[in-house]
Each structure stands twice: as C-alpha cells, then as structure tokens.
C-alpha cells in the first residue's frame, strides 16, 4: 500500500490554518455539547454518565484533528519521570527476525520500555509473573510512557498481580516505522524477558487496540517459527479491544457505516491514516500478520479477549474470538464490557470508564489464575 499523500492540512501553511479553525470550532461547539448531554436520553447511550458522553465527544475531536494534520509522536529513548522504571532494550540476535521480519528496509532497533509498578529485583524475577504490554493508537500515535500508559499499566499490574512492562515500539507515523518494525520490537521485548531468566509460562503478552493486533502477530510468529527460533510460547495473552481488520479499515466506511459509530470516539480518518502508514507497498493489508480476522491459528497460549459492548470494533472482536475458539485445543475466553467504548486500557481514564477498566483487569487476572498462570 502506498504511503498517505500529503494534504493541505498536513503541511504549512495549511496545518496552521486547520489548527486555528479546529480550535475556534471546538470552543464554539463545546458549550452546546455541555448543555446537550445533560438529559440522559440525548447521550450517545442512555447508560452513559454525563462525563462519559462529553469526554467521548472531545476525544473524537482530538483524534480527528491529530489524524488530519498527521501529528507526529516523537520517539524518546531517555528516562523521563519514570526514572529507574525506564529501560533500554537492544535487539536480539538476527536469527530472531526471520521470514516476514527479515525486511531489507526495516531493521531491528533499540527500544524503550517502562516497568509498573517498579523494576523487578533479581528475587522478583525468580518467582513472580510478568505482563508485557503493547499500547494502542492505530500504530501512528501513543507511547508506552507514563503520560499515556500509567493508568492502564497500574491496573493491569494490580489486576493480574504481575509486573508489567509497557513497550514503546516504533510508530508508522515516523520514518522507518512501517510493518514489520512494531513486530520486530515486540520480538525484542519478549526475548528480553526470556533473557532475564523468566520462564515463558510466567509471561503474558498483552495489547490494546493496535497493540492487541501486535500481540496476536507476536503469537502467530512464535507459533509458526518456534522450531527455528527456539522462542517458547507465552503462558497467556490479554487482548483489549483488539484491532483486527486493517484490510477493511482502508475504506472510511469501516467507521462511518458502523452501527456503533455514535457510541465510540474513533473517527474514520484515524483508522485510514493508521492503515496507510503501517502497511508497506510490499505487503497486502489482508496478510494474516496485519489483519488477523478470518485467519485463526493454533495457539498454545491461553487467550483472554475484552471488547466494549458499544464500540466500533465489537463485531470483529466477537468474530475473531469465535474463530479462535473453533481451533482444536485453543483456550480462548471473551468478555464484553456492556456499555464501554473502545480501548479501556489507554482511553478509559479520560473517557470516564475507570471502574469498568478496573473490573476488566480483575477479570483478566481471574482468568489467568483459574488457568494456572505462573505455575
């Protein structure tokens, strides 16, 4: 797929003009939204609180603006407020990155990651469980750093009674970040935990939205290459509102014609921007590593999937869960959070679904405990 062609809003002076217009329009409309959503019957969903209705509307505007100007997220490989919780991870041996990962234009790179709630000690590594998490953001935005991931990281850590490593993988909105960069980074991070002496049975891979897509790609790669790479499968996988059909998302109607678009904050230009920058010309968007929907596979890892009952991705998440459950010996459990919009891990704190995210983290931990996580 070709890269996104520059529009007037992605370069100057159009970017500045579009920014000024967006700010003016937002300030003009905000008072009416604040009044309009007071009656419960006028909210996108009658079960939503006032905060949830207003915040989802605001987040849609923010994402629509970021997508229109192709906002860049800088890649910072230095510790910030995370201090000693931030770690740099170097790529592993070249043999880890074979097949679809052996790209002449995209090579494995040093990545950053952040521990929650704290860096594990040597004794912790020997006896505790670990979750490696990939953030969402349509592959074009978001980071694994505290400003965006502290909320989700803390709740996943407490809900699963584990140490959580939030990975700051390369984004496709930056040069050299198209597929398979993020998957290379996922392999690098997973191999890093194994190199610390942590048994794969005590590791869960996790991801929200695009990060869920990435977690599935990691599981597929391990499943297909474990004999050659000697990469053992992790014990568990947690998928939070995973984005599964990038092939369909090439068309804006993927969002605009969805019957739940009014109860979610995802704008159509956000998903199209993600697909156009993530998928390189040499790979088709329906490749199983990019669009796992309709491509189930045998997986030794036990999988827990969460999706929102009123989000745009609900149908594809339900379908994928059913497809994976139908594969012999796969262990897959699905939880639908009834009135939640997309991606509680990364957006739940802003959109007003804090309690729903806490409940889901506890449910994920319960699934893992019932199935012997760490034993």
Residue among 161, 142, 151, 146 at smallest CA distance from 204: 161
Whether 115 and 158 have beta carbons less than 8 Å apart is answered as no
- State yes or no: cis peptide before 6, omega within 30 of 0: no
**Whose structure tokens read 């910072």?**
76
Query: What integer pLDDT is reported at residue 8 of this predicted model?
Result: 83
Judged by DSSP in three states, 89 sits in strand
46's tokens = 């009658």
Query: What integer pLDDT is reported at residue 7 of this predicted model?
Result: 76
Whether 106 and 169 have beta carbons less than 8 Å apart is answered as no
Q: Which residues contact 163 (CB under 8 A, 6 or more apart)?
A: 115, 116, 117, 118, 120, 124, 128, 129, 130, 131, 157
315's tokens = 């149908």
> CA-CA distance, 10 to 140, in Å (whole number)?
14
Label residue 197 left, alpha or beta by phi (over 0 means left) and psi (-120 to 50 means alpha): left
Query: What integer pLDDT is reported at residue 227 of this predicted model?
Result: 66
Whether 110 and 217 have beta carbons less than 8 Å apart is answered as no
Query: What integer pLDDT is reported at residue 228 of this predicted model?
Result: 66
Q: What is the dihedral of CA 49, 59, 210, 86, to 10 degrees?
A: -100
> CA-CA distance, 108 to 113, in Å (whole number)?
15
Q: What is the DSSP string of 26-65?
A: HHHHHHHHHHHTSSGGGSSSTTS-HHHHHHHHHHHHHHHH
Tens of pLDDT along the chain (375 residues)?
A: 434 445 788 889 999 999 999 999 999 999 999 999 999 999 999 999 999 999 999 999 999 999 999 999 999 999 999 999 999 999 999 999 999 999 999 999 999 999 999 999 999 998 899 999 999 999 999 999 999 999 999 999 999 999 999 999 999 999 999 999 999 999 999 999 999 999 999 999 999 999 999 999 999 999 998 766 779 999 999 999 999 999 999 999 999 999 999 999 999 999 999 999 999 999 999 999 999 999 999 999 999 999 999 999 999 999 999 999 999 999 999 999 999 999 999 999 999 999 999 999 999 999 999 999 877
**Whose structure tokens read 């700051």?**
168
Residue among 305, 306, 362 at smallest CA distance from 331: 305
Whether 172 and 181 have beta carbons less than 8 Å apart is answered as yes
Query: What integer pLDDT is reported at residue 230 of this predicted model?
Result: 77
Q: Which residues contact 221 (CB under 8 A, 6 or more apart)?
A: 99, 100, 101, 183, 187, 231, 289
Query: What integer pLDDT is reported at residue 226 of this predicted model?
Result: 75
Question: Which own/partner pairs from 254-258 qualify as long-range (CB within 8 Å, at least 24 positions apart)?
Answer: 255/312, 258/312
Q: Which residues contact 259 (CB under 8 A, 6 or more apart)?
A: none
- pLDDT of 201-258, one tens digit each? 999 999 999 999 999 999 999 999 876 677 999 999 999 999 999 999 999 999 999 9
Query: What integer pLDDT is reported at residue 6 of this predicted model?
Result: 52
């Amino acid at each position: 797929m070709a890269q996104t062609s520059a529009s007037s809003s992605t370069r100057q002076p159009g970017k500045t003009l579009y920014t000024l217009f967006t700010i003016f329009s937002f300030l003009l409309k905000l008072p009416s939204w604040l009044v309009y959503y007071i009656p419960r019957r006028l909210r996108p969903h009658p079960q939503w609180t006032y905060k949830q209705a207003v915040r989802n509307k605001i987040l849609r505007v923010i994402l629509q603006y970021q997508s229109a100007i192709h906002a860049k997220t800088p890649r910072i490989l230095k510790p910030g407020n995370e201090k000693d919780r931030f770690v740099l991870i170097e790529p592993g041996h070249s043999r880890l990155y074979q097949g679809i990962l052996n790209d002449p234009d995209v090579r494995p790179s040093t990545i950053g990651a952040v521990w929650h709630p704290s860096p594990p000690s040597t004794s912790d590594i020997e006896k505790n469980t670990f979750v490696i998490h990939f953030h969402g953001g349509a592959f074009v935005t978001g980071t694994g750093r505290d400003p965006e991931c502290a909320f989700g990281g803390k709740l996943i850590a407490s809900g699963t009674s584990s140490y959580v490593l939030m990975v700051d993988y390369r984004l496709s909105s930056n040069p050299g970040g198209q597929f398979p960069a993020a998957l290379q980074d996922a392999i690098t991070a997973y191999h890093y935990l194994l190199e610390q002496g942590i048994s794969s049975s005590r590791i869960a891979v996790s991801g929200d939205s695009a990060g869920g897509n990435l977690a599935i790609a990691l599981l597929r790669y391990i499943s297909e290459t474990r004999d050659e790479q000697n990469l053992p499968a992790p014990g568990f996988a947690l998928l939070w509102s995973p984005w599964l059909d990038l092939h369909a998302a090439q068309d804006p109607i993927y969002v605009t014609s969805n019957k739940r678009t009014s109860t979610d904050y995802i704008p159509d230009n956000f998903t199209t921007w993600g697909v156009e920058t993530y998928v390189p010309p040499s790979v088709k968007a329906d490749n199983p590593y990019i669009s796992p929907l309709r491509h189930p596979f045998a997986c030794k890892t036990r999988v827990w999937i969460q999706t929102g009952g009123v989000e745009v991705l609900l149908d594809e998440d339900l379908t994928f869960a059913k497809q994976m459950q139908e594969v012999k010996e796969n262990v897959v459990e699905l939880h639908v959070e009834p009135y939640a919009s997309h991606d509680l891990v990364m957006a739940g704190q802003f959109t007003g679904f804090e309690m729903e995210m806490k409940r889901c983290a506890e449910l994920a931990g319960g699934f893992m405990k019932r199935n012997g996580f760490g034993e």
